[in-house]
Amino acid sequence: MPLKSFAPEHLTDEARQSGFFQCPTCGLIWFGRADYDFCPQGPHGEPVHVAVLCRICDAVVPIQLLTAHLVDQKHDLGEN
């Protein structure tokens, strides 16, 4: 059974491709290991795909682009 996503309808595809997952019970978010069908903290239920948005520029950022996205100068988090 494919994982569900927790994202607004217009971001469902991005959530499925993001590489990020969330436990619907405890809220833990992790990346990788799509073959896991449970939360790393315990059997809390089926994880869901989530889309990750950059709150600085409102872009959806998949796991494979996260580092490249954050090294951009406008994302200097030390100035906030």
The pLDDT of residue 74 is 75
- Report which of 11, 24, 22 is spatially closest to residue 51, judged by C-alpha positions: 11
CA separation for the pair 3, 17 (Å, rounded) = 11
The pLDDT of residue 46 is 83
Q: Where are the domains of the chain?
A: 5-74
Asked if residue 3 has pLDDT above 80, the reply is no
CB 54 within 8 A of CB 61: yes
- Report which of 40, 35, 25, 43 is spatially closest to residue 3, judged by C-alpha positions: 35
Supply the mean pLDDT for the chain.
82
The pLDDT of residue 78 is 57
* Structure token pair of residue 1: 């059974």
CA separation for the pair 43, 65 (Å, rounded) = 30
CA separation for the pair 35, 22 (Å, rounded) = 14
The pLDDT of residue 1 is 43
The pLDDT of residue 70 is 82
